[in-house]
Amino acid sequence: SEWLFVEMADVMAAEGWRDAGYEFVCIDDCWMAPTRDEHGRLQADPKRFPSGIHKLANYVHSKGLKLGIYSDVGNKTCAGFPGSYNHYELDAQTFASWGVDLLKFDGCNSGTLELLAEGYRRMSLALNKTGRSIVYSCEWPFYLRPMQQPNYTEIKQYCNHWRNFFDVYDSWSSIKSILDWTALHQDSIVKIAGPGGWNDPDMAMLAGIFVFLSQLVIGNFGLSWDQAVTQMAMWAIMAAPLFMSNDLRHISPEAKWLLQNKEVIAINQDPLGKQGYQIIKDKNFELWERPLSGRAYAVAVLNQQEIGGPQNFTFSLTFLGNGLACNPVCSIRQVLPASRDWGVYSWVFSLSVEVNPTGTVLLKV
């Protein structure tokens, strides 16, 4: 209901989420009435959103936040509500008139691949035509992949970020599968990411709400602390748009600390805008790096081992930045799981990092 989003906006403004950089409160599927109005326009469910979306947007804006909404490229949404097929221009104008700031555009019930692509293109042009700045979140490549390789150059021309993989779930196996898929496909997806267009590793919603910080399930119940650290660290490395899918009214202090960690968010939001990638996979250990502005690098050491205790992983600093990150010397700071300075190292040194099972150590070099 609209009261859920009002309460969430209040919490975001009052408890530091907005100040940490979380800007959007977004409504997912099922917000609509089952039919369009007499003018063919989408309308909110009158029982659950009695004040309408425009009034809700005004309230969210009054808190210094932005409102996101959901629609679908096909004739019905994934949950069976009216889709935007043959209504792209009208729906874009409706969303703009309501004061919407982000559109998640799903790909269910789209028919052929040609109609899918045409719909995503047309909605992008229609949103731009409104004159309102509206972030365009696409699921285009996810629905293409079973049949053909997505053309990411074209997708970036139309979309601000695009979903690549299956729904994330509140479990370690889900997080692990996303990381494995991303590493496997990094040669085709890393190079396209940058300011204006981002790879979104996953997309799923809990209770029809997602809060803009891809998709962080930190603060729910399925991840251990080390696994939560891994998700936050790796989403920062992957330059993923950060969305939280949780209930901010009932979140633990530890999860709040992690999600609001300014050093991690600064890595995620680094203005250079380059996505990170895996450079070493050695048994259960993975070494990832992400180029940052100011000739810095974010480095993640991930331990995929699921049993036993902490283990050490040792690697030469010459691996980082094609040998340039620490040449001739570099300072290293640990960001996660706790922040501390490690000092200055020569590029010919090796670094030994102790990592808990399913955990990650995030460094800034």
Q: For residue 251, give every residue at least 6 positions away whose Cβ sits within 8 Å of its Cβ, in sequence order, or none.
A: 219, 259
Least confident window among 247-251, 311-315, 340-344: 247-251
Question: Does residue 152 sit in helix, strand or coil?
Answer: helix
Dump pLDDT digits (tens) for 55-88. Answer: 999 999 999 999 999 999 999 999 999 999 999 9
pLDDT for residue 168 is more than 70? no
Dump pLDDT digits (tens) for 106-154. Answer: 999 998 999 999 999 999 999 999 999 999 999 998 888 878 899 999 9
Dump pLDDT digits (tens) for 287-328. Answer: 999 999 999 999 999 999 999 999 999 999 999 999 999 999
- Right CATH number for 2-269 from 3.20.20.70, 2.40.50.140, 1.10.760.10, 3.60.10.10? 3.20.20.70
10 is an active site residue: no
Check 19, 37, 167, 282 and give the catalytic one.
167
> Which residues make up the CATH 3.20.20.70 domain(s) of the chain?
2-269
26 closest CA partner among 204, 235, 261, 239: 204
180 is an active site residue: no
Q: At what angle do helices 88-98 and 113-129 cross, to 10 degrees?
A: 40
- Asked if the peptide bond before residue 328 counts as cis, ω within 30 degrees of 0, the response is yes
Confidence of residue 210 (pLDDT cuts 50, 70, 90): very low
- Right CATH number for 277-364 from 3.40.640.10, 3.40.50.2000, 3.10.129.10, 2.60.40.1180? 2.60.40.1180
User: pTM of the entire structure?
Assistant: 0.92
* Angstrom distance (rounded) from CA 39 to CA 35: 11
Backbone angles phi, psi at 93, to 5 degrees: -65, -40
pLDDT value at position 212?
A: 38
pLDDT mean over 324-333: 95
Confidence of residue 214 (pLDDT cuts 50, 70, 90): very low
In this structure, which amino acid lies at residue 141?
P
Confidence of residue 178 (pLDDT cuts 50, 70, 90): confident
Confidence of residue 28 (pLDDT cuts 50, 70, 90): very high
Confidence of residue 215 (pLDDT cuts 50, 70, 90): low
Kindly report the CA angle at 94 between 89 and 84, in degrees rounded to 5? 50
Q: What is the mean pLDDT of the chain?
A: 92
pLDDT value at position 213?
A: 38
Extended strands (E) in the chain: 24-27, 66-72, 102-106, 135-138, 161-163, 198-200, 209-212, 277-282, 285-291, 297-303, 311-316, 329-336, 340-346, 350-355, 360-364
Check 29, 72, 106, 170 and give the catalytic one.
106
63 contacts 101 by C-beta, under 8 angstroms: no
Q: For residue 40, give every residue at least 6 positions away whose Cβ sits within 8 Å of its Cβ, in sequence order, or none.
A: 87, 90
> Which residues make up the CATH 2.60.40.1180 domain(s) of the chain?
277-364
* Angstrom distance (rounded) from CA 195 to CA 139: 18
